[in-house]
């Protein structure tokens, strides 16, 4: 028989059950005070019993909340879509993405202001046993996420039939709107009991009501008897309803809740049987009546018999305030974890301290906020609370005061405070002796060696690859990205700037990475070994040649020398068999980058050079046939490949390959079937290389009256796609373009206008402005050059200037 809390049993045992909201400073403070008054000799906490073996770590000095218990299956766990939950507010605890048939990982988060955390710390401090009493994670993670109701739950059709047969006389106290609805009110009570109580009290916001009656309390009688009475009344109403009234609940929800409460009662019985006489139970408020109810042990045993079971591991992991927020998808989350942390850690004058911190945040952004601003904001927040009948100014009042006084009505600074303070990104930590998978332990050792700190806030990290420590940091971040752990995200085009030796990264640690590290452990026990195995698997399963070259580039960036032979063999085989020149051209840039920057990193690139040499030859041979008979879309796609290959060969800085490429371009530029877009672009590339002396004549022919306006526009677009500075400095070309545009008939001009707009719209504003100024003065007489006279050049003066320029450049002046 389940003991009734607050009364002495025949054996002299006494049980107190504290119904709490899972994250709240008032609940946490009340639980701590109640435990200190009750002085239990055992404490039971709602959570997975597998954590009993590691709960002592919560008392370690290195355990700093927010933290979370992470349970995962011993096979290949998958990262959940959102944080798991430990409370009744969650719709699915530790749920994996929709459509998954099996849950493989779940979190139970704790903040410093979580009542469960305060109960754990109290028990460890006074030296009494603390146990978790929820349904074991081994059962929770073994249950499938079924789309159909589980045994004992009505289907939708059965629920509808039962609703039709329901008698007209309804139990007293059932809220109704007078219509034969779908019992949404009853389901709402079950899924959100606190929200229902808030509306009954005249509040339209459940969190605000809870703040007023619990979280903002600092003294007075214990709230737990009133909470238990309210939950009992709501559960009595629910118990009187037919099954049809709850047909809209998630499949399996009622059955799972019944199992959880049965296991809580079983754990309580065992604790009393072990001889404990003063037992405290801390659980979600909704479960209090179920634990007080007298249920035969045999019935609970029947409920728990035959449950599926998975082999799991459990550990502590760091968590963040952002992941405690309801906006993150956490079912038991709160809107303002940063605000709640402040209320719990600063019970003395919390409003004054909060607004002072807000002023400090704004000053760090160079916004002027004085002490007078803070004083007036405090007065305004207190006045708003008094007008609204609240015991203490809440987050709503302090936010309004912040906006009106500190931010002077501006919303952007308020959003800054919301991000940094109201939610916050405080990242917890766990002690070194916490159980970890070998991969996580290896990463922690490398992070410590390389002085890379985990942070929940974005942090910019610039790396100079000439420094050994920065080179090792870069390799570690690239290896983690191969494992799909994006702790660092490269900036400026793959992490490299225009300078060869510099990389820029944005670092931000997320709690989900702990689960992803567990999943990545299937590839190896060290970051290097796991990344190597993953790269080899990616190379073996690459769908296209471009995918394979991307793997090769990433291997070189990550310095995976052991994986390179297998990747290079796969790359050489695929390149030899692929006859599509577009595929070859798409693959070349990544290989050239890897070849160039592999040298910088000291990575051997001999096999890669052989592949690059072969690809360049095959691209040059395959390009002429590939340019024939292209439509507009195909020509534009090929143009992108041509630009990419041209840039790659310039980066490679190989005179032989560059010359072969230019000869190939010169060989196809005069073809009659060449698309205008390609002809214009090839003309520009050859002009920039000094290989096209007759460019003015070519442009004149391409934009002449005899050329179709669409082809002429395509030629101009291709020619000018590399930038418009050539028109600023070459009056002849600018005049040809101007005469062609002004000579177009009205209908033709309308047809080519989108092409021209796309071309000139891609230029910088300064280039467009300069081109416009040049066009306006095309017909004006040329102004005499400064110093022009009878002789255009003074050899003596020019010689001195030339000698000075040569000295500046470090060159030796000719004798």
Per-residue pLDDT of 337-348, as tens digits, reads 888 888 888 878
Residues 352 and 322 in one domain: no
Residue 414 lies in a domain: yes
In the DSSP assignment, the letter for residue 421 is I
- Tens-place pLDDT, residues 632-675: 888 888 888 888 888 888 887 778 888 888 888 888 888 888 88
Name the residue among 592, 406, 436 with its Cα closest to residue 525.
436
In the DSSP assignment, the letter for residue 280 is E
Name the residue among 561, 546, 545, 647 with its Cα closest to residue 596.
647
Is there a contact between 252 and 149 (Cβ–Cβ < 8 Å)? yes
* pLDDT band for position 794 (cuts 50, 70, 90): confident
Mean pLDDT of 291-298: 90
Burial of 152 (0-12, 13-18, 19+ CB in 10 A): exposed
| pLDDT at 370 > cutoff 50 | yes
Residue 160 lies in a domain: no
Residues 652 and 769 in one domain: yes
Between the two ends of the chain, the Cα-to-Cα distance in Å is: 111
* Strands of the sheet with 312-318, listed across from one edge: 105-110, 67-73, 312-318
Name the residue among 689, 657, 686, 675 with its Cα closest to residue 717.
675
User: pLDDT: is 69 or 142 the higher one?
Assistant: 69
H or E element in which residue 590 lies: helix 581-601
| pLDDT at 459 > cutoff 50 | yes
Is there a contact between 22 and 340 (Cβ–Cβ < 8 Å)? no
Average pLDDT along the chain = 77
Torsion on CA atoms 483, 485, 487, 489, rounded to nearest 10: 70
* Strands of the sheet with 502-507, listed across from one edge: 459-464, 502-507, 488-496
| pLDDT at 379 > cutoff 50 | yes
Residues 768 and 642 in one domain: yes
Residues 317 and 368 in one domain: no
The whole-number pLDDT of residue 790 equals 46
Task: Tell me which of 19-33, 97-111, 676-690 is least confident.
Answer: 97-111
325: region left, alpha or beta (phi > 0 left; psi from -120 to 50 alpha): beta
Residue 743 lies in a domain: yes
Burial of 720 (0-12, 13-18, 19+ CB in 10 A): buried
Residues 91 and 138 in one domain: yes
The whole-number pLDDT of residue 269 equals 93
* pLDDT band for position 792 (cuts 50, 70, 90): low
Residue 242 lies in a domain: no
Is there a contact between 72 and 108 (Cβ–Cβ < 8 Å)? no
- The single residue listed with the structure tokens 């983690």 is 480
Residues 765 and 723 in one domain: yes
Helices (H), 244-327: 253-273, 288-292, 297-304
Residues 131 and 272 in one domain: yes
- The single residue listed with the structure tokens 């349904």 is 135
Residue 793 lies in a domain: no
- Tens-place pLDDT, residues 221-257: 778 888 888 888 888 877 666 665 555 556 667 788 8
d(CA 45, CA 42): 10
Is there a contact between 424 and 322 (Cβ–Cβ < 8 Å)? yes
* pLDDT band for position 152 (cuts 50, 70, 90): very low
The 10 Å Cβ neighbour count of residue 254 is 17
- Boundary of a domain, candidates 328, 356, 381: 328
Is there a contact between 511 and 319 (Cβ–Cβ < 8 Å)? yes
Residue 176 lies in a domain: no
Strand partners, 106: 71
Axis crossing angle, helix 253-273 with helix 297-304, rounded to the nearest 10: 130
- Tens-place pLDDT, residues 543-587: 888 888 888 888 888 888 788 788 878 877 877 777 778 888 887
d(CA 317, CA 106): 12
Is there a contact between 14 and 278 (Cβ–Cβ < 8 Å)? yes
Is there a contact between 62 and 74 (Cβ–Cβ < 8 Å)? no
d(CA 369, CA 353): 15
The whole-number pLDDT of residue 282 equals 94
Residue 18 phi/psi, 5° resolution? Answer: -110, 110
The 10 Å Cβ neighbour count of residue 309 is 12
Mean pLDDT of 90-112: 54
d(CA 203, CA 389): 12
% of the chain at pLDDT higher than 90: 20
Residues 476 and 419 in one domain: no
d(CA 17, CA 15): 7
List the beta strands (DSSP E) in 89-145: 105-110, 130-132
Mean pLDDT of 508-516: 84
Is there a contact between 719 and 683 (Cβ–Cβ < 8 Å)? yes
H or E element in which residue 17 lies: strand 14-20
In the DSSP assignment, the letter for residue 422 is I
Total domain count for the chain? Answer: 4
d(CA 233, CA 289): 9
CA 240-243-248 angle, 5° bins: 120
Candidate ranges 63-72, 114-123, 703-712; pick with highest mean pLDDT: 114-123
* Strands of the sheet with 14-20, listed across from one edge: 14-20, 278-284, 42-45, 130-132
Is there a contact between 104 and 76 (Cβ–Cβ < 8 Å)? yes
Q: How far is CA 78 from the centre of its chain?
A: 16
The whole-number pLDDT of residue 806 equals 74
Q: How many residues does the chain have?
A: 815
The full DSSP string for 719-751 is HHTT-SHHHHH-HHHHHHHHHHHHTS-HHHHHH
* pLDDT band for position 602 (cuts 50, 70, 90): low
Task: Tell me which of 33-42, 99-108, 462-471, 541-550 is least confident.
Answer: 99-108
* pLDDT band for position 280 (cuts 50, 70, 90): very high
Q: How many H helices and E strands in the chain?
A: 34, 10
| pLDDT at 619 > cutoff 80 | yes
The whole-number pLDDT of residue 147 equals 41
Mean pLDDT of 297-318: 90
Can you read off the two tokens belonging to residue 396? 């709503």
d(CA 482, CA 435): 25
Is there a contact between 579 and 636 (Cβ–Cβ < 8 Å)? no
Question: What is this structure's pTM?
Answer: 0.64
The whole-number pLDDT of residue 126 equals 94
Candidate ranges 110-114, 121-125, 243-247, 343-347; pick with highest mean pLDDT: 121-125
d(CA 103, CA 106): 8
The whole-number pLDDT of residue 181 equals 45
H or E element in which residue 783 lies: none
The whole-number pLDDT of residue 81 equals 33
Torsion on CA atoms 43, 46, 51, 56, rounded to nearest 10: -30
d(CA 615, CA 609): 10
| pLDDT at 785 > cutoff 60 | no
Cβ neighbors of 56 (< 8 A, separation 6 or more) are: 124
Mean pLDDT of 707-731: 75
d(CA 97, CA 349): 43
Can you read off the two tokens belonging to residue 417? 């405070």
Is there a contact between 163 and 183 (Cβ–Cβ < 8 Å)? yes
User: pLDDT: is 173 or 222 the higher one?
Assistant: 222
Q: Which domain holds residue 375?
A: 348-423
Cis amide prior to 436 (ω within 30 degrees): no
The whole-number pLDDT of residue 779 equals 66
CA 605-611-617 angle, 5° bins: 135
* pLDDT band for position 540 (cuts 50, 70, 90): confident
Q: What is the 3-state secondary structure (H, E, C) of 400-466?
A: HHHHHHHCCCCHHHHHHHHHHHHHCCCECECCCCCCCCHHHHHHHHHHHHCCCCCCCCCEEEEEECC
The whole-number pLDDT of residue 167 equals 35
Residue 236 lies in a domain: no
d(CA 539, CA 623): 27
Residues 296 and 352 in one domain: no
* pLDDT band for position 781 (cuts 50, 70, 90): low
Q: How far is CA 731 from the centre of its chain?
A: 51
* pLDDT band for position 30 (cuts 50, 70, 90): confident
The whole-number pLDDT of residue 150 equals 41
Residues 604 and 735 in one domain: yes
Residues 417 and 458 in one domain: no
Cβ neighbors of 186 (< 8 A, separation 6 or more) are: 174, 175, 237, 238, 241, 245, 246
- Boundary of a domain, candidates 297, 328, 359: 328
d(CA 102, CA 143): 7
Residues 459 and 495 in one domain: yes
Is there a contact between 41 and 277 (Cβ–Cβ < 8 Å)? yes
H or E element in which residue 623 lies: helix 606-626
Residue 515 lies in a domain: yes
- Boundary of a domain, candidates 399, 423, 447: 423
The whole-number pLDDT of residue 679 equals 82
């Amino acid at each position: 028989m389940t003991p009734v809390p607050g009364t002495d049993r025949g054996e002299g045992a006494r049980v107190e059950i504290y119904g709490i909201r899972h994250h709240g400073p008032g609940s946490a403070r009340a639980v701590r005070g109640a435990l200190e008054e009750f002085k239990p000799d055992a404490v039971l906490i709602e959570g997975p019993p597998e954590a009993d073996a590691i709960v002592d770590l919560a008392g370690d000095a290195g355990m700093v909340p927010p933290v979370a218990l992470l349970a995962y299956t011993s096979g290949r766990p998958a990262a959940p879509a959102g944080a798991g939950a430990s409370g009744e507010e969650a719709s699915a605890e530790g749920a994996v993405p929709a459509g998954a048939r099996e849950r493989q990982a779940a979190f139970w988060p704790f903040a410093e202001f979580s009542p469960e955390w305060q109960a754990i710390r109290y028990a460890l401090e006074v030296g009494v046993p603390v146990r978790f009493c929820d349904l074991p994670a081994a059962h929770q993670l073994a249950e499938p996420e079924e789309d159909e109701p589980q045994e004992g739950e009505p289907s939708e059709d059965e629920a509808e039939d039962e609703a039709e047969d329901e008698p007209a006389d309804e139990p007293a106290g059932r809220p109704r709107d007078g219509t034969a609805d779908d019992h949404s009110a009853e389901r709402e009570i079950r899924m959100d009991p606190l929200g229902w109580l808030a509306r009954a009290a005249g509040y339209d916001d459940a969190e605000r009501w809870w703040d007023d009656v619990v979280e903002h309390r600092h003294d007075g009688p214990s709230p737990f008897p009133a909470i238990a009475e309210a939950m009992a009344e709501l559960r009595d109403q629910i118990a009187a309803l037919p099954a049809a009234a709850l047909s809209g609940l998630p499949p399996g929800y009622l059955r799972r809740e019944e199992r959880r409460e049965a296991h809580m009662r079983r754990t309580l019985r065992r604790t009393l049987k072990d001889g404990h006489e003063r037992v405290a139970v801390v659980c979600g408020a909704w479960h209090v009546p179920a634990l007080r109810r007298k249920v035969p042990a045999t019935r609970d045993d029947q409920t728990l018999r035959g449950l599926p079971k998975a082999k799991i591991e459990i550990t502590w992991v760091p968590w963040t305030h952002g992941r405690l927020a309801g906006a993150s998808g956490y079912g038991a989350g709160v809107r303002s974890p940063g605000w709640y942390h402040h209320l719990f850690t600063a019970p003395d004058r919390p409003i004054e301290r909060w607004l002072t911190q807000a002023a400090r945040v704004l000053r760090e952004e160079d916004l002027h906020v004085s002490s007078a601003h803070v004083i007036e904001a405090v007065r305004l927040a207190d006045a708003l609370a008094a007008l609204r009948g609240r015991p203490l100014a809440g987050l709503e009042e302090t936010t309004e005061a912040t906006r009106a006084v500190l931010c002077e009505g501006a919303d952007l600074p308020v959003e800054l405070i919301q991000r940094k303070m109201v939610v916050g990104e405080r990242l917890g930590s766990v002690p070194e002796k916490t159980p970890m998978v070998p991969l996580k332990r290896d990463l922690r050792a490398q992070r410590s060696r390389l002085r890379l700190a985990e942070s929940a806030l974005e942090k910019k990290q610039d790396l100079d690859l000439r420094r050994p420590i920065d080179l090792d940091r870069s390799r570690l971040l690239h290896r983690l990205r191969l494992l799909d752990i994006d702790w660092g995200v490269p900036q400026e085009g793959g992490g490299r700037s225009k300078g060869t030796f510099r990389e820029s990264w944005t670092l931000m640690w997320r709690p989900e990475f702990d689960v992803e590290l567990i999943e990545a452990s299937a590839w190896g026990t060290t970051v290097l070994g796991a990344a190597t195995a993953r790269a080899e698997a990616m190379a073996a399963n690459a769908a296209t040649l471009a995918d394979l070259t991307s793997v090769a580039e990433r291997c070189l960036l990550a310095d995976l020398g052991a994986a390179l032979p297998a990747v290079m063999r796969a790359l050489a085989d695929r390149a030899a068999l692929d006859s599509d020149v577009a595929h070859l051209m798409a693959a070349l840039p990544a290989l050239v980058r890897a070849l160039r920057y592999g040298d910088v990193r000291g990575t051997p690139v001999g096999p890669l050079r052989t592949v690059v040499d072969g690809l360049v030859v095959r691209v040059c041979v395959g390009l002429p046939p590939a340019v024939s008979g292209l439509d507009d879309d195909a020509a534009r796609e090929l143009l992108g490949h041509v630009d990419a290959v041209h840039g790659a060969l310039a980066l490679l800085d190989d005179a032989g390959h560059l010359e072969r490429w230019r000869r190939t371009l010169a060989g196809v530029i005069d073809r009659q079937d060449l698309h205008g877009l390609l002809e214009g672009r090839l003309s520009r590339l050859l002009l920039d290389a000094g290989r096209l002396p007759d460019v003015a004549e070519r442009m004149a022919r391409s934009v002449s009256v005899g050329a179709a306006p669409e082809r002429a526009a395509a030629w101009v677009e291709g020619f000018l796609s590399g930038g418009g500075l050539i028109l600023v400095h070459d009056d002849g070309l600018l005049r040809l373009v101007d005469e062609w545009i002004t000579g177009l008939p009205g209908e033709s001009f309308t047809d080519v206008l989108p092409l021209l707009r796309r071309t000139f719209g891609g230029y910088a504003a300064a280039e467009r402005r300069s081109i416009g100024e040049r066009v306006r003065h095309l017909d004006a007489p040329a102004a005499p050059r400064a110093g022009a006279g009878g002789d255009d050049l003074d050899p003596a003066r020019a010689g001195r200037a030339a000698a000075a320029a040569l000295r500046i450049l470090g060159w030796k002046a000719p004798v």
